[in-house]
Amino acid sequence: MGRSRSPGRRPSKGTRVSTHSLRLESRDLALVTTFAALIAVCAVLPAVQTGGAVPITLQTFGVLLTGALLGPWRGFLAVGLYLLVGIAGLPVFTQGRSGPSVFLTPSAGYLVGFLLAAAVAGFLVQYVRRRRSALGFALVLGACLVATFLVIHPLGIAGMVWRAEMTWTAATAYNATFIPGDLVKAFVTAVVATSVHAAFPDLLPTPRRRTVARRETIDA
């Protein structure tokens, strides 16, 4: 009479799968937290005063880099965490401001734009990454420019019209002062992101990475 298999192996499978999942979640959490801190540093560094309602900061660089390196959902979460920390009272907004009242200032539109821009830049970079073996500088730069000029700037203009009582023409003209600096930030972001992805090709989630993860789960 044949011996029955030991029933003790299946629970061990579940344990190993759980450990694998926790490892991935911990990595994502660490990346989100790190890049939220990066955006905060970019915000609190001395700003360039423009003589108007909104100063020039390095926040756009931090936001674009976050999206380009982490992808859409982790980039969105990183910017969201940064905003939540500032709303909670930590002085991580420009000029050391904090609290929910910052969303009643002329900068409100730019802050909302940052949240969406990280997701847009991340989505575009990840979309290209899934279809190419390597990310090219021009493609990453294009993603950053789209996120900047089709997301951040329009929402920033709308915020100034809403909170600074400016006309659309005046707000658009004022926003033009940010264009040269944002072009430079997009360029630098593309240089850095391209180099980082070349060094760490698995930083963005890809179909291949998910397939390998599933195989590890099955084989565990």
**CA pair distance 176, 154, nearest whole angstrom:** 11
- The torsion angles phi and psi of 94, rounded to 5 degrees, stand at -55, 140
Q: What is the pLDDT of residues 1-17, one digit of tens each?
A: 455 444 544 444 444 44
* DSSP state for residue 6 in the 8-state scheme: P
**CA pair distance 78, 67, nearest whole angstrom:** 9
| pLDDT above 50: residue 130 | yes
| Range of lowest pLDDT (59-63, 88-92, 132-136, 179-183) | 132-136
What are the residues whose beta carbons fall under 8 Å from the beta carbon of 29, sequence distance 6 or more? none
The structural domains of the chain, ordered by start, are 26-199 (1.10.1760.20)
* pLDDT, the chain, mean: 85
Within 13 Å, how many C-alpha atoms sit on residue 88's CB side?
7
Considering the entire predicted model, what is its pTM?
0.82
**CA pair distance 51, 159, nearest whole angstrom:** 17
Q: What angle do CA 42, 45, 46 make, to 5 degrees?
A: 140
